[in-house]
Amino acid sequence: MEGLKTMQREALRQYLDGLLKSADFRDYCPNGLQVEGKAGVQRVICGVTASQALLDEAIERQADAILVHHGWFWKGEDGRVTGFRRQRLASLLAHDISLFAYHLPLDAHPTLGNNAQLAKRLGWTIEGNFSEQNIGFVGVPPAPTFAGELAQWVHQALGRAPLLIGDATRTIKRIAWCTGGAQSYFEEALATGADIFVSGEISEQTVHMARETGMLYLAAGHHATERYGVMALAAYLSDACSISCDFVDIDNPV
Ligand SMILES: [Zn+2]
């Protein structure tokens, strides 16, 4: 492609690690370059999760690297390269494609991160952070709104029906949010004084905690809330480094 530069994989790694401050986070997976591919990078395919479907798309588009929020090698995982893991790794190695993954650093980044980008999409103003490593965000909607209206707006903006736990007629003035599977931060969110906690997933016990504490809960989808960080990063990287970065959305109902 014309106008595109070839960036060295190592330079790209250093650039991304610095931009996302990956060394500052304790995480459940290694952040940064997870699988080493060819030395030169011109085309990057970006997505939420390094699933086989995303790898196939990257191979089809002759990508040199893949950049995701959910990579591989999670703590507690069985490390054996068998079955679907063998297939995934074989696909990457056969095509000499690098895999870059940024988990918590890409949730937390103050402008490009999932939480900041979700707020931008939903029109919420960020006022602060909460929880360990400041992963959670707290802020306000453009105007006080009924919880039912907020849920409808989230449905419209993200294209997925959320699950609201609590009184839909409650007025929401203050929102705590954390994208993905952050239901375990419920009590930290409660301590911020928020009227509602918005995350992606929900657990059985989340319902009881919402009922008993009075803080509402909105499960807006793990995938649906975590598309925007890597999308923003793809756009930023195209501009900053003059390499091709395309976001590919692999549908996921959760
Ligand atoms: Zn996630």
DSSP secondary structure of 102-117: -SHHHHH-TTTSHHHH
Angle of helix 147-158 relative to helix 114-122, nearest 10 degrees, comes to 110
- The single-letter code of the amino acid at 26 is R
Are 240 and 16 in contact, with CB atoms under 8 Å apart? no
Q: What is the pTM of this model?
A: 0.95
d(CA 222, CA 97): 26
Q: Look up residue 213 and give its two tokens.
A: 């504490």
Distance between Cα 179 and ligand 1 center (Å): 7
**Alpha carbon of residue 76 to chain centroid:** 21
Distance between Cα 184 and ligand 1 center (Å): 13
Query: What CATH number is given for 7-106 in this structure?
Result: 3.40.1390.30
Distance between Cα 222 and ligand 1 center (Å): 6
Q: Does the domain made of 114-225 have the CATH classification 3.40.1390.30? A: yes
Burial of 223 (0-12, 13-18, 19+ CB in 10 A): buried
Distance between Cα 42 and ligand 1 center (Å): 27
Domain locations in the chain?
A: 7-106, 114-225
Q: What is the pLDDT of residues 13-46, one digit of tens each?
A: 999 999 999 999 999 999 999 999 999 999 999 9
Sequence-ordered list of residues with C-beta below 8 angstroms from that of 229, at least 6 positions apart, any chain: 69, 106, 107, 109, 112, 113, 114, 115, 116, 117, 179
d(CA 124, CA 141): 5
Does residue 97 carry a pLDDT above 70? Answer: yes
Distance between Cα 122 and ligand 1 center (Å): 19
Distance between Cα 180 and ligand 1 center (Å): 4
Decide if 7-106 and 114-225 have a common fold.
yes
Q: How confident is the model at residue 132 (pLDDT cuts 50, 70, 90)?
A: confident
